């Protein structure tokens, strides 16, 4: 373990620019009071450092670079922050690391929610045995049918085949206000009972009412940034780019009694075909998030408010202020869009399967976010839990699961890994209280996009997928999204399991992948 070359504890120095990291520059924070307890590590309080909980094996801790750790410390020291969790998939992000949890009873932090408000995972299970997708021709037809309905790529909206679900301005306004309400689901051809399979199927305004959201939306619609609101609504049912994807899977339930029992509660069947989706709030969420960043940064400048650690990405608003209220309303509007976007994608994917395999049925297993702030009870008092690339993980018996299908099991946790090693469905264990009921959100990047393009070989990436018989809509798989650009998924999961946060219920093994190929041919 090498000593960091800079002092990541400083709360005055601005963070270094992320672009200057060199290959092999893999420092590990070795600051005061760092201890390892089993496989979990804590940065203990010192005179200057409040505690940060780090969940990761020794190998995983080697993946945390200087900037990531500095962002964690900066976030921990920011006003009103009472808890900061670093998960094994952590890497540097906007303000706080992707793969962190920030808790505050008094402040809201837009950066530690993230640029893509309510970026989430969803899993659709089909009543199909695995061998139904053995035939490569069938898989090619499925890829085509899905891509005709749910496009990938920036700026892309609905395809003509989905025009029966056209979103006019009135419906657009309704869905960002109501989320997956019964009326919205009916209008878009989404099974209304899927709302019960959502972590949250709708989001209300800052005061707990929909009226507050409605007033905020009218204000926003009068601004220049929102002149293309109707166009943004046309993106409903699309994936976008970057790390977003759709993936056809085969479910492999874990070979133990607990996994079998929980899988049954989840409705997961061993050997069934399923479809995993990763996307968020697209252009609409982006306008809201980036608008809030700029707005708050301007206020900090104008009023001369000191930035946490000098980092503009860590601007915040005290709860109860107009700024906090407006942010919470905008987050809810973006979150409602993301919710309906995911459910519509699942409805369109099911429709695509039915086009290729007539009569097939499908149901949503779960929809859960990893980029959202939720008001939860932490240490016996209400607080905003900001999960930035982190997934809620509430075990059996948790009070907030009362009345849901998962009260006695814990809810499904959907974790994308990579097409080669698979993805995972997990369930929280009682130990998750130590991480503010959170786990990782996936594997986490280990190579930056530029770095990946420089060091990874295109034909190796494509050959590896081919040798695993995994098809894709991409002629060449985006190299900055290759499995090797991400951390070792098994080591990440081992960190979570050995720390007592969650247990594995099932693996999802990829049969074909749908990604944004528009930048793959550079």
- Per CB under 7 A, residues contacting DNA are 115-116, 119, 153-155, 225, 228, 235, 240-244, 279-280, 282-283, 286-287, 290, 516, 518-519
Structure tokens belonging to residue 211: 């009226």
For the bound state, the minimum distance from the C-beta of residue 117 to DNA, rounded and expressed in Å, comes to: 10
Query: Which string of DSSP letters, residue by residue, matches 135-161?
Result: SHHHHHHHHHHHHHHS-BSTT----GG
On whether 443 is known to bind a ligand per the annotation, the reply is: yes
451 annotated as ligand-binding = no
- Token pair listed for 273: 């075909």
Task: Assign 171 to helix, strand or coil.
Answer: helix
Is 243 within any annotated ligand binding site?
yes
Q: Is 390 annotated as a binding residue?
A: no
Whose tokens are 């790390």? That residue is 243
Closer to DNA by CB, 154 or 360: give it.
Answer: 154
Determine how many CB atoms are found less than 10 A away from the CB of residue 264: 13
Q: Between 280 and 419, name the residue whose CB sits nearer to DNA.
A: 280
Distance from C-alpha of 202 to C-alpha of 13, rounded to nearest angstrom: 40
Residues 6+ apart with CB under 8 A from 261: 409
Whether residue 286 is annotated as binding a ligand: the answer is no
Question: Is 473 flagged in the annotation as binding?
Answer: no
Q: Is 498 within any annotated ligand binding site?
A: no
Min CB(116)–DNA separation in Å? 4
Q: In the complex, what is the shortest distance from the CB of residue 304 to DNA, in angstroms, rounded to a whole number?
A: 26
Return d(Cα 33, Cα 52) in angstroms, integer.
Answer: 11
Tokens (6 digits) for 115: 């640029």
Is the CB of 45 or the CB of 155 nearer to DNA? 155
- Backbone Cα Rg of the chain: 22
- Return the number of the residue (41 or 235) whose C-beta is nearest DNA: 235
Active site amino acids: 441
* Token pair for 321: 């202020």
| Long-range Cβ contacts of 349-354 (<8 Å, 24+ apart) | 349/124, 349/146, 349/149, 349/150, 349/246, 349/275, 349/277, 350/124, 350/126, 351/149, 352/142, 352/145, 352/146, 352/148, 352/149, 352/150, 353/126, 353/128, 353/142, 353/145, 353/275
Q: Which of 350, 226, 230 is nearest to 286 (CA)?
A: 226
Cβ-based nearer residue to DNA, 119 or 317: 119
Residues 203, 205, 208, 211: what is their CA dihedral angle, to the nearest 10 degrees? -110
Q: Least distance (Å) from DNA to the CB of residue 156? A: 7
Q: Which residues are annotated as a binding site for Mn(2+)?
A: 116, 244, 278, 370
Q: Which residues are annotated as a binding site?
A: 116, 243-247, 278, 370-371, 423, 441-444, 515
Q: Which residues are annotated as a binding site for GMP?
A: 243-247, 370-371, 423, 441-444, 515
């Amino acid at each position: 373990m090498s000593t960091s070359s800079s002092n990541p504890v400083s709360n005055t120095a601005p963070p270094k620019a992320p672009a200057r990291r060199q290959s092999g520059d893999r420092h590990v924070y070795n600051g005061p009071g760092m201890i390892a307890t089993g496989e979990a590590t804590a940065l203990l309080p010192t005179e200057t450092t409040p505690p940060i909980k780090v969940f990761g094996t020794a190998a995983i801790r080697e993946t945390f670079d200087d900037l990531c750790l500095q962002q964690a410390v900066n976030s921990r020291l920011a006003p009103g922050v009472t808890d900061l969790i670093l998960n094994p998939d952590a890497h540097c992000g906007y303000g706080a690391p992707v793969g962190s949890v920030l808790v505050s009873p008094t402040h809201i932090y837009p950066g530690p929610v993230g640029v893509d408000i309510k970026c989430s995972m969803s899993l659709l299970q089909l009543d199909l045995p695995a061998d139904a997708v053995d035939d490569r021709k069938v898989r090619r037809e499925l890829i085509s049918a899905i891509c005709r309905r749910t496009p990938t790529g920036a700026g892309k909206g609905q395809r003509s085949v989905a025009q029966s679900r056209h979103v006019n301005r009135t419906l657009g306004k309704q869905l960002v206000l109501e989320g997956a309400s019964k009326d919205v689901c009916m209008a878009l051809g989404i099974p209304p009972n899927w709302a019960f399979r959502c972590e949250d199927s709708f989001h209300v305004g800052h005061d707990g009412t929909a009226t507050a959201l409605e007033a905020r939306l009218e204000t926003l619609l009068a601004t220049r940034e929102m002149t293309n609101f109707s166009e943004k609504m046309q993106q409903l049912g699309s994936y976008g780019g970057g790390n977003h994807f759709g993936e056809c899977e085969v479910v492999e339930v874990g070979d133990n009694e607990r996994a079998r029992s929980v899988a049954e509660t989840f409705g997961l069947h061993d050997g069934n075909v399923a479809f995993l989706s990763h996307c968020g709030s697209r252009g609409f969420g982006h306008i809201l998030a980036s608008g809030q960043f700029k707005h708050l940064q301007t206020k900090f400048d104008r009023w001369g408010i000191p930035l946490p650690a000098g980092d503009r990405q860590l601007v915040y608003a005290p709860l109860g202020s107009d700024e906090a209220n407006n942010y919470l309303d905008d987050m809810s509007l973006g979150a409602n869009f993301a919710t309906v976007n995911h459910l519509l994608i699942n409805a369109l994917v099911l429709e695509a399967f039915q086009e290729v395999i007539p009569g097939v049925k499908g149901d949503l297993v779960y929809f859960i976010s990893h980029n959202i702030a939720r008001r939860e009870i932490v240490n016996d008092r209400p607080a905003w839990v900001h999960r930035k690339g982190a997934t809620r993980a509430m075990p059996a018996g948790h009070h907030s699961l009362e009345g849901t299908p998962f009260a006695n099991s814990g809810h499904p946790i959907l974790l994308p890994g990579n097409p080669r090693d698979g993805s995972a469905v997990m369930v929280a264990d009682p130990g998750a209280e130590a991480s503010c009921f959170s786990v990782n959100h996936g594997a986490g990047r280990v190579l930056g996009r530029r770095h990946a393009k420089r060091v990874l070989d295109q034909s190796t990436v494509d050959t590896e997928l081919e040798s695993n018989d995994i098809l894709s809509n991409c002629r060449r798989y985006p190299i900055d999204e290759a499995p090797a650009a991400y951390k070792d998924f098994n080591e990440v999961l081992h960190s979570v399991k050995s720390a007592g946060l969650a247990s594995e219920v099932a693996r999802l093994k990829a049969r074909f992948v749908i990604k944004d190929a528009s930048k793959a041919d550079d």
